[in-house]
Amino acid sequence: AVRANGHDQYSVAWLPVCPKWRILRKISAINLFSMQRLDASQALRQEKVSKLMEYVRECCNKGEAIDVGGVAFTTSLNLLSNTFFSFDMASYNSSDSGEFKELVWKIMPNLVDCFPILRFLSVLSVNRKLMGYGNKLNEVFEEIIQKRLESSFSVGAKDGDVLDTLLRLVNENESDLSLDDIKHLLMDFFTAGTDTTSSTLEWAMTELLHDP
């Protein structure tokens, strides 16, 4: 799965230790996981959790069942999309997050990625499907990037969201970062940061229901 669309050549999660991996790791550490960035996004995290609780309260008042995994995925997706792009990619009452979740699930690494000895089990049709799903996700990110480049994006601006920062690094050409690097970096963070969070919460809620 990780070899589809050449993702293994760009992914910070799958690259071997090399100059490119060090550059991507440094960019991620400084621009995504720094204390300054985390502190700046605290209000955003509180806002998204508040919206989640508001939606749960509305469903309770109406007596409607809640898809815990689905609403957790939507919350995680919107938190990430606001951090990177400054807008929500889905809403609780739409199918957008469900479609994105299905896409993420279909391009997740499979057993062959972890156990190369099983590579002979991989079928060409499966590889074609993986490339198709990867292309769809790439198209989503490429459209967002192109819209940002065509908008009032300012190369010299020091504030803004994560995408602004990454595009500024590309324009400055000091970190050898390319637009392809950005798309694959987004794929890394959106696949890891949405599904794992929602799955963890879903399992936690299941355990609480079994053993209150």
pLDDT tens digits, one per residue of 129-180: 667 777 888 888 999 999 998 886 655 555 678 999 899 888 887 678 889 9
Structure confidence by residue, pLDDT tens digits, 20-43: 899 899 988 888 888 888 888 889
Residue 94 pLDDT class (50, 70, 90 cuts):
confident
Highest mean predicted confidence (pLDDT) among 3-12, 58-67, 91-100, 146-155: 58-67
Dig out the tokens for 157 from the structure.
């601006």
The winner for highest mean pLDDT among 9-23, 48-62, 172-186 is 48-62
Confirm or reject CATH 1.10.630.10 for domain 4-210, answering yes or no.
yes
Domain residue ranges of the chain, discontinuous segments joined by +: 4-210
Please tell me which residue, 99 or 83, carries the higher pLDDT value. 83
**124 — pLDDT class (breaks 50, 70, 90):** very low
> How buried is 98 (Cβ within 10 angstroms: 0-12 exposed, 13-18 middle, 19+ buried)?
middle
Q: What is the pLDDT of residue 33?
A: 81
pLDDT(113) > 90: no
Query: pLDDT higher for 14 or 111?
Result: 14
pLDDT band at 51 (very low <50, low <70, confident <90, very high): very high
The continuous run of DSSP H or E covering 208 comes out as: helix 179-210
Nearest to 163 by CA among 88, 86, 84: 84
The tens digit of pLDDT for each residue in 61-87 reads: 999 988 888 888 889 889 999 999 999
Q: Which long-range contacts does 78-82 make (Cβ < 8 Å, 24+ apart)?
A: 78/48, 79/44, 79/45, 79/48, 80/189, 80/190, 80/193, 80/194, 82/44, 82/48, 82/161
In this prediction, what percent of the chain has a pLDDT beyond 70?
A: 80
Residues 164, 117: Cα–Cα separation, whole Å: 42
Greater model confidence, 67 or 99: 67
Q: Is the pLDDT of residue 55 over 90?
A: yes
Amino acid at the residue 108 = M
pLDDT score for 130: 66
Q: Average model confidence (pLDDT) for the chain?
A: 80
Q: Is the pLDDT confidence value at 123 over 60?
A: no
